Structures are given as structure tokens and as C-alpha cells.
Amino acid sequence: MAKNLEGKRAVVTGAGRGLGRAIAIELANQGAKVVVCDLGGSKSGEGADMGPAQEVVDEIKKAGGVAVANNENVTDFEGAGRMIQTCVDNFGGIDILVNCAGILRDRMIFNLSEAEWDAVLAVHLKGMFNTVRHATPLMREQKWGRIVSTTSDAWRGAPGQGNYSAAKGGIVSLTRTVAGEMGKYNVTCNAIAPIAATRMTMDDEVKERFKRAYEAGMMNEEQYKELVGMPGPEFVAPVVAYLCTEEGGAINGKVIGTSGGRVALYSDPVEIRGLYRDHVKEGAWTVDELIRLVPKTLLT
């Protein structure tokens, strides 16, 4: 197998388990030296455990790769800086940043607490800002870098996940902004929208929820089997590694959907239809005009 990332230096957050773990291992298999970052908290973001990150490091080393562990918290701005600095101190710089750290605190909007909102936004969205803010000055200086962050199809809206979907939508917007700012320095910034069986998406509680929905007739047998048979994160990892290669530099500011054998490009947000008038000569639209015209134009 070709070492498409030979000599590259990478930081992967949330790399102790699930998607981040699979990506860290794949980057190492492709020749990158990897900082495996993971606080080791629970699915909801509580507690800490140095074990998962070190276990991934041990696995990479056993396979002949190079890796070190870091147990900082992505929500801590200075801690995120130490993640990047760990890569610099151990490997001489940073070329690749992959943001996978995430938590879930699902709740319908009328039950969602401020603390549950803040916790999820802090890990997903602020966590991305924190690491990107520390990595981009170094990438800009060397005029090369690859940033990949994890969004979700939930960014288009997900009942019961207002905090999560808002964070993931923010990641898409921040990705596009960073891509526009950093592209001229040969630094790309993309997002992946993965579907993969991890503890975030397919633990026993989720499986039981799917089972109850199936038994209640809310989905057919084919849909149920597809959900519980969701492919693992190892199918997503090569797509991320590709985005980090020299060849992947042709893609910037995009959202790539991936699951199993699927690799897909999401459309960019564009204006699709509109009502237009010369506001200087004709003034603002009136409510009556909009009531009459919108159904025949914007809503067709």
C-alpha cells in the first residue's frame, strides 16, 4: 500500500474511539505521524480517561506507525493550543488537523436546557474554532495544510437535536469561511458528513429505540435492518485521508457525505428563486403584495 501521507504531521481530536480512532489509524497507515487527542469522556461529555487515546497510540505503534497521546479538552482554548504544540514539539510542525471530538445531549427544544446547549456547542463548534485558530498560523507560514472537520446530515435539521444540529451547521459555515481565508496559502478546509456505527450513533440505547420504532410500525423491515446494520467508521477514514493528500487539495470548502461505499458531494447553499423590484423607485414590498405573489413565485 502506498504511503500517501509519508512525512505529514497530524492532529486528530476525539481520536480515542469511533470515527476519530479509525481516522487516526488510517492516517498513520498512510505514513503520517499522529497526535491522538482525546479527553476520554462519556458520550455526553462527562468525566475523563487517559486510556482510550493511549490505546490508539499503542495500536498505531504496534503496526509500525508513529503516534503520541494528548488528553487536553477541545473546549479549552489554551488546551487546544497545547494539542497543536504537542505535534510541533514531537514532530516539528503540523500539516493535518482533523476535528472529530463530539458529544450528544439530545432533547426536544422545549426541554433543552441552557447547560445542554452550551456543552454541545462548546465541544463541536468552539472546539473546531479552538484547534483551527492555533493550527492555521503555522499552516499559513509553511503554505500547506489540510483541515477536515466533522459535520453531520443533522446540520439540515434534526428533531430532538437542536444543540447538535446547530453546532454542525456552524461547522459547515466555519468550514466555508476558513476555506476562503486559507485557500491562497495552499491550506484547504473541508467537512465530512459521515454515517457510521459508533458509540455516538449505535449504542444499545439507540438499537433499542430503533427496535421499538420498528415494532410500532414506524419503519419497515428493510429500513430497520439498514439502520442496525450501519457500516463502521473504517469506511469513512479513507475519505478523510484522501482529503489530506496532495491530490485532495483540489477540494476546498466542501461538505463530503460518506458512509459504507458512498462518497457524495453536498450542494453549496445558493439562491434558487426570488422576487425582485427596484426598491429606490418602487419602495419596499407590501405585506399584501407578498401574500399575493410569494405562493406563485418563491413557493413554486
Told to judge if 214 belongs to the known catalytic residues of this protein, a careful annotator would answer no
Q: Please give the DSSP secondary-structure letter assigned to residue 267.
A: P
| Catalytic choice (164, 185, 242, 276) | 164
- The answer to whether residues 166 and 122 touch, using CB atoms and an 8 Å cutoff, is no
**How does 23-45 read in b/e, with b if 16+ C-beta sit within 10 Å?**
bbbbbbbbbbbbbbbbbbbebeb
Ordered strands of the 66-70 beta sheet? 66-70, 33-37, 9-13, 96-99, 145-150, 187-194, 255-259, 262-265
C-alpha 194/C-alpha 17 separation (Å) is 15
Q: How far is CA 35 from CA 5, 134, 213, 287, in A?
A: 14, 15, 40, 57
- The answer to whether residues 100 and 20 touch, using CB atoms and an 8 Å cutoff, is yes
C-alpha 297/C-alpha 202 separation (Å) is 42
Q: Which three cell numbers stand for residue 77?
A: 482554548
C-alpha 211/C-alpha 140 separation (Å) is 49
Q: Please give the DSSP secondary-structure letter assigned to residue 101.
A: -
C-alpha 16/C-alpha 32 separation (Å) is 17
Q: How far is CA 221 from CA 203, 205, 211, 218, 260, in A?
A: 20, 19, 10, 10, 20
Q: Which three cell numbers stand for residue 87?
A: 505535534
Could you give the residue numbers annotated as active site? 164
